[in-house]
Amino acid sequence: MYQKNLLYTQNLSIDYVKKLEYLFSLIEYSETQKSVKRRPPHPRYPVLNALIFRNMRTIRSLLDLSRELKNYPQLAQVCGFKSFPSHQRFSAYLKNTPNEKLQSVRLNLLKQLILSGQITGCHISAAACPLKANVKENNLKTNVKERFNKHKFPKGDSQARLGTYNIFFPKKKVRFFWGYRNHILNDCISELPVAEVTKPANVHESKMLIPQLKNIKKELNLSIKAVMADAAFDSYHIVNFILKELKAKPVIARNPRKSKNPDVALSSTGNPICAAGFQMKSMGKFYDKKQNRRRHKFVCPIKASKKFARKVGGLCPWNHPKFYSNRYGCTTNLRIDVDTSGRDNIDYGSETFKKLYDQRTSSERIFSRLLSFMMQTPSIKGLNATANSCTIAHITVLLIALAAAKTGNEDKIRYIKSFFSNFDFSKS
C-alpha cells in the first residue's frame, strides 16, 4: 500500500487521478508472485496499468513513459508502483509475458461489455492490419542488399517476416514490408473488437478467420447472423463454414482471382455456357498439381464435336480470337473437390448484400483508433512483444468502452482520445 499525495500539480488534477483510479479498478489481472530472496520485482499489474496509460497519453517510447512516471509520482502510485520503474522493466514485461495472460484480461472486459448490452455480436467484420518491424530494411532511405529477399531475415528482428500491403493513392500499388499483422474480428454495431491475434506478416488473413470465429463462438457465445469481409477472405471453405457451422450469412466480396472467366454462366445440367451461348463440351476431370485441386475441364463445342460444328456452320459466331489460336478454343475449368453451391448462391448485387457489406468499414475505423496508440510503429522487437503491445492496445479500447458504459456515458464508448476531458462520472 502507499500513502496518497496530499498536493497535486496543476497539470494533474484530482479529477484526472480519480478517473485513472476508476479505470484501473475495472481490470481483473490474476498473477502469482513467486517468493525470491533478492529484492522483489515490481508486480505485473502496475506495469500493465502504466502501459495502458501510455496508450491513452500517446507516449511514443518506453523511456518517455518511465520519465513521465518520475515527473508525476502520483501517476506511479495510481498505477500501483511503490518505486519508479525503469524502461527496461516495461520492455522485459512485453517480451516475457505470455500473451495468454493478456488475452484473459481482454476476454474478461469483453464479457462485461456483452453483459452490459454494448456488444451483441450479430454482425461481425474481419480485417487485418500490417505492423512494420523496427528494422532498417523497412527504411527505404537506407542501402540494404536484397532488401526484400524472403529467405534473408532482417538482423534487427529475426522473427519478422515479409508481407505486402496495398496503397491506393495516387494509384493502386503493392508494397513489401518486414513485420507482423494484427488480425481482428469486430462487432459492427458497437465498433469494438471482439477477437485479435498477431502473426508474422507472411500468414494470410484467410487462414485466421475460421479459428477466430470458432474461438469467439466458444468463449463469448455470440449469436452471429452475418460475417462481413473483403475479397481476401473469399474462399469456398470460409463461405461453407459460415453457412453450415455458424448458420450465418456470408457477406464476402467476390474475388475473381485474375480469372479469365470470373462470371461463368452454367446451364441446367451444370455445363458452362460460352460467350456465343453454347453449352461447352466436357473433356474430363484432372488433378491440378500446382494448386492441389481437382478440376473439370470444358472446351468449345464447335472444336470438340464435328457434328455440332456442321450444325452451326463450323465457325464461332462471336469470331473469338481463341477459336483460331487455341486447339480447344475457349476453355473453362470448374473445381469439383469443394462444395461451390454456397458461394454461387451469394446475392452479390442485391441491396441487402450492399447494406451489410457497408458495415465492413467499421473495421477500418477501429484500426484508425488502434493506430493512434502507435500500434503500427512499435518500439519493441519480436513476435511476443509485438503481440503483447497489440493486445494492450485492444485492452485500452475495451477498458474505455466499459468505463463509459458503467458511468452512464454510453454515447462515448469510442472516445479513446478524450476520456479525461469528455467523460462525466457524475452520471454513475
pLDDT of residue 8: 44
In the chain, what are the domains?
Answer: 121-254+356-382 (3.30.420.10), 265-339 (no CATH)
Over residues 261-286, the pLDDT tens digits come to 556 788 888 889 998 899 999 999 99
As a whole number, mean pLDDT of residues 324-348 equals 85
As a whole number, mean pLDDT of residues 91-104 equals 94
Query: Cα–Cα distance between 368 and 362 in angstroms, integer?
Result: 10
Over residues 108-120, the pLDDT tens digits come to 999 999 999 999 9
Over residues 178-198, the pLDDT tens digits come to 999 999 999 999 999 999 999
As a whole number, mean pLDDT of residues 146-157 equals 93
**Residue pair 54/46 in contact by the 8 Å Cβ criterion:** no
> What is the average pLDDT score of the chain?
88
3-class DSSP state for residue 226?
Answer: strand
Distances 165 to 20, 66, 129, 205 between C-alpha atoms, Å: 37, 34, 9, 12
Q: What pTM was estimated for this model as a whole?
A: 0.85
**Cell numbers describing residue 328:** 480447344
Count of beta carbons in the 10 Å neighbourhood of residue 319: 9
Query: Cα–Cα distance between 35 and 373 in angstroms, integer?
Result: 35
For 358-385, b/e burial (b = at least 16 CB within 10 A) is ebbebbeebbebbeebbbbebbbbbbbb
CA 312 to chain centre: 53
Q: Which residue has the higher pLDDT, 335 or 30?
A: 335
